[in-house]
Chain A
Amino acid sequence: MNSHEKEELELDLFIELVKRYFDYDFNEYRRASIKRRIQQLVVQNNLEHICELIPRVLYQEDFRHSLLQCVSVTVTEMFRDPRVFRTLRDEVIPALTILPKIHIWHAGCATGEEVYSMAIILKECGLLAHTTIHATDFNQASLDIARRGEYPLENIKQHTKNYIAAGGTSSFADYYSVKGKLAVLDPELRKNIDFYHHDLAKEESFGKMNMIICRNVLIYFRQDLQERVFNLFNASLTTNSFLVLGDKESIDFSVLADIFTTISSSHKIYRRT
């Protein structure tokens, strides 16, 4: 057995152990990215081989935390891809104004930057007060950061630039105060956001939504899991509701594609008929 075959075997064993011990099935994830993540975990732990992580799973107190942190590491920022938020503001949100109560599910919200971005847009459109944003992630540590709503001050310049590009009608500085090296977002924005744990791979629908935002999450899933998540979303959406995916994601491969019409093909905004 050559070193590559050993490496693949070690990865298989590790994935099997994580499935049995933590009940996360990384076989349902894209192999190349999950392998890359796990190899980085090996490096971070000053180890040489994936198999050396096996005792850590079993005997290291907080390994679940390290594993989830490593697997769910993503780049995000407020109003990431500002044109998407601009399109939401101009073409989607006006359709929500007739609703007495709005429910938005932000699935895979990570550290929350895009959730607060949505809250700001809704506030500027006068809709935040009667909206509930259900923001979920499978990583508790990310949710803790999201709940705090405090982000490094050094990113504020980029966030401000994005806010303007997204069509913000106020001044971004109105939405945060400075505390040391942190920008603390206005606690008012949080009032209508519920952050909670939900694992897209395992859990059921928890309510009917008028919009689901799930960006750059499905890119990590193999097609079977993608399909299950589309089914979950379909079951969670009301008639005439909206689905927003990442720029490079698409519902086209799903058997449910026919139920959705495209609102923006470049920004992957769909409407459930």
Chain B
Amino acid sequence: MMVDYEAVVIGVSAGGFTALTELLSLMPAGFPLAMVIVQHRNDDHANYLCHHLNKHCKMPVSEATFNGQILTGHIYLAPANYHLLIERERLFSLSVEPAVCFSIPAIDVLFESAADAYAEKLIGIVLTGANDDGSLGLKKIRARGGLAIVEDPRSAEVSTMPQSAIDIAGADHILPLPEIAGFLAGIAHG
């Protein structure tokens, strides 16, 4: 059955800088889905990551803004020190409620709200990381009919987070990083 996906949400923690650079630089210009990313990071690197990815990606990269409409073909990064949520109207919301899994932004918060907003039109991806954030969110994405992809823990820089996602949520596809990009590009071409 063909599904028209609308958005990809990605959660990544330790090892994320390299992983995001590799994955996102492989994404073709004009990729017809919105990509929304939570990368655990500290304040100091917030702007740098955005700037860096913009240099290496064919898709435009910007920080998700409150009140901002989510556009397809765009990559959005969660700002540091705020949780990022997606509204049914395809708008971003931000929140400063307490950390989840010791993280703000937390992957679970993005994933759970995105699952509500997009249901089966959503792809959730968990990449390298040293904690278990994203596992419950990915579980919810699957429960709402979305597709779950997890980076192969054997080739991930830090295997804890992808392994936890597989254990708790399960996955439709477990792939090494370059194949994730290929898979997404394939979906775009139907």
Say whether A198 faces chain B, with CB atoms less than 8 Å apart.
no
Distance, CA A223 to CA B79, complexed state (A):
20
Interface residue range, chain A: 20 to 34
Interface residue range, chain B: 20 to 34
Distance, CA A115 to CA B85, complexed state (A):
28
Q: Which residues of B contact A76 (CB under 8 A)?
A: 96
Distance, CA A32 to CA B67, complexed state (A):
13
Expressed in whole angstroms, the minimum distance between the Cβ of A80 and any Cβ of chain B is 9
Pair A32/B93 contact, Cβ less than 8 Å: yes
Expressed in whole angstroms, the minimum distance between the Cβ of A46 and any Cβ of chain B is 18
Q: Which residues of A contact B117 (CB under 8 A)?
A: 32
Within 8 A of A (CB), among B64-111: 65-67, 79, 82, 85-88, 93-99, 104, 109
Q: Which residues of A contact B109 (CB under 8 A)?
A: 36
Q: Which residues of B contact A74 (CB under 8 A)?
A: 96-97
Contact of B96 among A32, A75, A223, A250 (CB under 8 A): A75
Most chain A C-beta atoms within 10 Å of own C-beta, residue among B87, B93, B109, B113 = B93
Within 8 A of B (CB), among A31-49: 31-33, 35-37
Say whether A4 faces chain B, with CB atoms less than 8 Å apart.
yes
Within 8 A of A (CB), among B109-158: 109, 112-113, 116-117, 119, 144
Say whether A30 faces chain B, with CB atoms less than 8 Å apart.
yes
Pair A36/B82 contact, Cβ less than 8 Å: no
Pair A73/B97 contact, Cβ less than 8 Å: yes
Contact of B95 among A4, A33, A249, A250 (CB under 8 A): A33
